[in-house]
Amino acid sequence: MEYRYFGLNSGQKLLQNALRHGGFAVPAFNAYNMETIQAIISAARLTHSPVIIAISESALKYMGDDMLMGMISGAKIQPNEQICLHLDHGKSVESCMHAINIGFSSVMLDFSKHDIDDNITTVAEIARYAHARNVSVESELGELSGIEDENTFGTKSVYTDPDSVYEFVRQTETDSLAIAIGTSHGAYKRKNADEKLRFDILEQIQNNIPYTPLVLHGASSIPADFIKTINQYGGNIQNAIGISLEQLNFAATKTHICKINIDSDLRLAFTAAVRKNLHDDPSNFNPRQYFDMGRDAIRDYCIFLIREVFHSNNKI
Ligand code: G3H
Ligand code: 13P
Ligand code: ZN
């Protein structure tokens, strides 16, 4: 099914708009069920912000193609709402083609762990397929450290080499490029909160490819309040540190970073709300009650990021 049938916009339209106008970044929030999809779309509608709904391969498997696209259809998205449905960290050409064929308007082919020639050839292949259908392609150069759900401190990080980005973009025709400047996936990103992102590398990259929107993965800030609530109500998450909001705000408003990916923060928001609700009302066994709290917590945190950090409100 073509993505326009669902009222979706391509990623490229949203990101080129952000690059051209400057001063804001489009949020990419990860979703994996009805509540997360509703929360993200509500936040976008309440703030008039463009938004990217990011679906990982494992999230797609969890929901199933028909269930996901049924929910997207049920959301009655309008083209002027500037909502994009994006495959996050696609691991193969087949997986990206599949997403495009069921209605995604943007795909990421993540071949960052392969050698650069392989990365170029494979991204160029999916770019040809995607562009013939007006779908946009994100790719990645450099490696983010840490793996979602693993308690690593992300010691392995290979920054993106600014000298290789021009040829990479030229040969692949990728629409946007994810870069490694010190962020990592999951809740354990840093040993201390003072560690700085490599904005010097970012500056060199954007000088070399000034017309390519850049993407920041692994950008959750891991709010201390969520961790405190989770631990207060029976959880156990220790030494989790994310990217400071000041650095995210700088990236969003003063650089060519046009898309910022947030997953872990939303997981924490949901978990904190559910744990508190179950604690406060121990006799409740109606999931609708605590899922509702989790959904509101995600929506409110998305609104906070949109308004206070990414400045994408009123940018549609
Ligand atoms: O960047 C990765 C995302 O956070 C997705 O994680 O594969 O556990 O859904 P997941
Ligand atoms: P976080 O784990 O920092 O939320 O990163 C999410 C992400 O990059 C999804 O692609
Ligand atoms: Zn990512």
pLDDT in tens, 33-55: 999 999 999 999 999 999 999 99
Q: Which residue's alpha carbon is at the smallest distance from atom 1 of ligand 1?
A: 185
Residue 232 token pair: 């207060």
Q: Which of 182-191, 230-239, 255-264 has the lowest mean pLDDT?
A: 182-191
Q: Name residues whose C-beta falls within 8 Å of residue 200's C-beta, 6 or more positions apart in sequence.
A: none
- Tens of pLDDT, residue by residue over 173-215, are 999 999 999 999 999 988 877 789 999 999 999 999 999 999 9
Distance between Cα 166 and ligand 1 center (Å): 28
pLDDT of 153 higher than 80: no
Mean pLDDT of 123-134: 98
How many residues are present in the chain?
316
pTM of the predicted structure, to 2 decimals: 0.96
Measured CA to CA, the distance from residue 97 to residue 155 in angstroms comes to: 33
Residue whose CA lies nearest to ligand 1 atom number 4: 263
110 lines ligand 2 (CB under 6 A): no
Q: Using CA atoms, how far apart are residues 26 and 121, in angstroms rounded to an integer?
A: 28
Ligand 1, atom nearest to 149 Cα: 8
**Tokens coding 151:** 């308690």
Q: Which residues of 237-249 are buried (b: 16+ CB within 10 A; e: fewer)?
A: beebbbbbeebbb
Ligand 2: which of 106, 185, 222, 260 to mutate, most ligand atoms within 8 Å of CB?
185
Q: Residue 157's pLDDT is what? A: 58
Mean pLDDT, the chain, whole residue set: 95
Q: Report the nearest-CA residue for atom 1 of ligand 2.
A: 218
Domains, the chain, with CATH or none: 3-310 (3.20.20.70)
Closest ligand 1 atom number to CA of residue 58: 7
Integer Cα distance of 314 and 82 in angstroms: 11
pLDDT tens sequence across 280-302: 999 999 999 999 999 999 999 99
**Other CB atoms within 10 Å distance of the CB of residue 282:** 7
HSE-CB of 198 using CA atoms within 13 angstroms: 19
Q: Which of 55, 61, 62, 148 to mutate to test the pocket of ligand 1 (most atoms within 8 A of CB)?
A: 148
